Amino acid sequence: MGLCSTCYTLKRQDEEYFGGLREAVLERDGYRCRVCDASGRDKWSIIVHHRRPGKSVLKLMLSLCPGCHAKVHRTKAVLSAMPPLLLELWREQHPKGHEQKQLDFSSRKPAAKLIPLFRDEKESSG
């Protein structure tokens, strides 16, 4: 039985880019994003992410929604909280990327001396 052109292209891409494991990854992950648990409207709206680019090994691949996948690849610097798995995936893709650990509000110097902005009425009437 022959395949339509779309099915043939998808099958070829699965073999070429996913080592034939794309469907196995999606089934294992329940067709849901492993980070935010979003489900795909269909199996093509969930992306199979390679934790090591170009290495198609089942344990190194996982399902992500387009939003989480974009955050892994397109976020240049982490400046706000991320779910732990998303942060781990981001670190794998950006080993030298900038990550805001925390803001340090502790004071190392004495506070500035207070200077009144307005004169007291008694001083101005004298």
* Span 109-120, pLDDT tens digits: 666 677 777 776
Q: What is the CATH number of the domain that holds 39?
A: 3.40.1800
9 belongs to a structural domain:
no
3 belongs to a structural domain:
no
Rounded mean pLDDT, 84-113: 78
Q: Where do the DSSP E strands lie in 1-126?
A: 47-50, 61-64, 77-78, 98-99
Pick 103 or 113 by higher pLDDT: 113
State which residues form the domain around 79: 19-99
Put simply, whether the predicted model's pTM sits higher than 0.95 gets the answer no
109 belongs to a structural domain:
no
Q: 3-class DSSP state for residue 104?
A: coil
Total number of domains in the chain:
1
1 belongs to a structural domain:
no
94 belongs to a structural domain:
yes
Q: How confident is the model at residue 15 (pLDDT cuts 50, 70, 90)?
A: confident
The torsion defined by the Cα of 51, 62, 43 and 41, in degrees rounded to 10, comes to -100
Measuring CA to CA, which residue among 56, 51, 81, 55 is closest to residue 69? 51
